[in-house]
């Protein structure tokens, strides 16, 4: 009987949002074929793991510096939890550790892992924490290109973004449209009244529309005549909504990335971020870029009372883009 071959151990740091984890999914899957993979990520990564990365281990951790406000109030940081995490990582004796983010905090965690090979894209001298500092892809490139560069560095060939294989959507052939009005940050949310007008237009064309939102938006929708608005609170809830839809319309958000990766064509109303960086990974994805602003991209911290890049788009303007997108998909 041939002896079993032990895979080298790979640590991946991806501490940010749902969309970031979805964009990293092709890398996680490819890496799991050659490595014993562990991902340090927010707790909902466990739900993604069950659906998309069955061979991957998730260490849940909410990094305090990923908070939108008060991220550097060091006296509030979970220091004991961070110490336990670093000890747990070091005890696993990783051979390789990496991060796709251009972030010195990630690189410091890589150094704490004790891995002999530590890969990343250095910034402000964070190369001291890396054994293999890599040249960052073109700053205008999609975030997925960072994962491709890391893959090449450790012997993984990831397909170009337009050739990632997807299962076709299993949504109802009567073309239900899912509109999700939430986003991680308010500056990424197109005004709710515009979404309401869009829902009305689609229903006037005899199309079935399901509305979903973030919990803090639920009361608004109930007050405005949407008694069956869905409020998904978990990845599993989101997947259930997506599974019965053929089209997704929403903001630059994690739910849109999740829908795209399950094979549902998406239409995204972008605001402060750039489509060339964060467009969902689906060949049928479509979008409008946020209106012009001298500060864009602004990493979700808007200098104005309202994000003009989003509020500048009226519903009739967006409709001229969405109507042909939906009409084509509903004919297929």
Q: What is the pLDDT of residues 180-193, one digit of tens each?
A: 999 988 899 999 99
Q: What percent of the chain lies above the pLDDT cut of 90?
A: 75
Q: 209, exposed or middle or buried, with CB in 10 Å at 0-12, 13-18, 19+?
A: buried
Q: Are strands 177-180 and 132-133 parallel, antiparallel or unpaired?
A: unpaired
Looking at the structure, tell me whether residues 146 and 199 fall in a common domain: no
Question: Do 191 and 260 lie in a common domain?
Answer: yes
Model confidence over 87-122: pLDDT tens digits? 999 999 999 999 999 999 999 999 999 999 999 999
**What is the predicted pLDDT for the residue at 5?**
67
Residues 147, 243, single domain; the answer is no
- How many of the other CB atoms lie within 10 Å of CB of 217? 20
| Same domain? 120 vs 250 | no
* Mean predicted confidence (pLDDT) in 233-245: 93
Report, as an integer, the average pLDDT of 162-190. 80
Per the domain annotation, does 171 fall within a domain?
Answer: no
The helix-helix angle for 254-261 and 18-34 (nearest 10°) equals 40
Is the pLDDT reported for residue 259 higher than 70? yes
Residue 278 in domain: yes
Q: What number of CA atoms fall less than 13 Å from residue 113's CA on the CB side?
A: 30
Would you mind telling me the total number of residues written for the chain in this entry?
332
In a domain, 159, yes or no: yes
**Cα gap 47→53, rounded to integer Å:** 9
Residue written as tokens 């990845």? 235
pLDDT in the model for residue 143? 95
Print the domain residue range for 313: 177-331
- The pLDDT assigned to 174 comes to 45
Q: Give the global pTM.
A: 0.92
pLDDT reported for residue 72 = 64
Q: For the chain, what percent of residues have pLDDT higher than 70?
A: 93
Residue 307, domain CATH: 3.40.50.2000
**Count of domains in the chain?**
2
Return the higher-pLDDT residue of 51 and 68.
51
Question: What pLDDT is recorded for position 76?
Answer: 74
pLDDT in tens, 116-142: 999 999 998 999 999 999 999 998 899
Indicate the pLDDT class of residue 64, thresholds 50, 70 and 90.
confident
| 148 and 207 belong to one structural domain | no
31-43 per-position pLDDT tens digit: 999 999 999 999 9
d(CA 9, CA 21): 19
Query: Looking at residue 194, what is its pLDDT?
Result: 97
Residue 113 burial by Cβ neighbours in a 10 Å radius (0-12, 13-18, 19+) = buried
One domain for residues 129 and 207: no
Does the residue 283 lie in any domain?
Answer: yes
Q: Residue range 252-271: average pLDDT?
A: 95
Average pLDDT across the chain, whole number: 91
> What is the structure's pLDDT at 69?
65
Is residue 170 over pLDDT 70? no
**pLDDT at res. 78:** 79
232 and 127 both lie in a single domain: no
Instruction: Answer whether residue 118 is part of any domain.
Output: yes
The reply to whether 323 and 265 lie within a common domain is: yes
Is pLDDT at 60 greater than 60 in this prediction?
Answer: yes
Lowest mean pLDDT: which of 260-264, 298-302, 317-321? 298-302
Q: How confident is the model at residue 331 (pLDDT cuts 50, 70, 90)?
A: low
């Amino acid at each position: 009987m041939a002896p079993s071959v032990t895979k080298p151990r790979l640590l991946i740091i991806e501490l940010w949002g749902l969309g970031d984890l979805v964009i990293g999914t092709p890398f996680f899957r490819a890496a799991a074929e050659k490595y014993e993979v562990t991902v340090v990520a927010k707790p909902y990564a466990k739900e993604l793991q069950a659906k998309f990365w069955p061979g991957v281990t998730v260490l849940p951790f909410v990094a305090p510096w990923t908070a939108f406000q008060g991220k550097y109030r060091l006296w509030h940081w979970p220091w004991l939890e961070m110490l336990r995490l670093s000890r747990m990582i070091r005890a696993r004796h990783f051979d390789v550790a990496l991060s796709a983010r251009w972030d010195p905090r990630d690189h410091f965690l890589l150094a704490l892992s004790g891995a002999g090979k530590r890969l990343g894209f250095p910034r402000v001298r964070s190369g001291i924490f890396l054994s293999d500092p890599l040249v960052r892809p073109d700053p205008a490139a999609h975030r997925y290109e960072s994962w491709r560069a890391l893959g090449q560095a450790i012997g993984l060939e990831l397909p170009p973004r337009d050739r990632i294989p997807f299962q076709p959507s299993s949504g109802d052939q009567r073309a239900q449209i899912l509109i999700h009005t939430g986003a991680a940050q308010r500056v990424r949310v197109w005004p709710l009244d515009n979404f309401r007008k869009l829902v009305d237009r689609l229903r006037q064309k005899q199309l079935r529309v399901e509305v979903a939102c973030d919990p803090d938006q639920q009361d608004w929708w109930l007050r405005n005549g949407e008694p069956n608005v869905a409020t998904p609170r978990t990845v599993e809830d989101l997947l259930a909504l997506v599974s019965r839809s053929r089209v997704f319309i929403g903001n630059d958000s994690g739910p849109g990335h999740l829908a795209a990766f399950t094979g549902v064509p998406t239409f995204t109303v972008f605001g402060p971020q750039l489509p060339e960086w964060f467009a969902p990974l689906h060949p049928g994805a479509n979008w409008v870029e946020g209106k012009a602003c001298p500060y864009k991209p602004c990493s979700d911290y808007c200098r104005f009372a309202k994000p003009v890049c989003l509020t500048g788009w009226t519903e009739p303007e967006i409709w001229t883009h969405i109507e042909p997108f939906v009409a084509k998909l509903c004919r297929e």
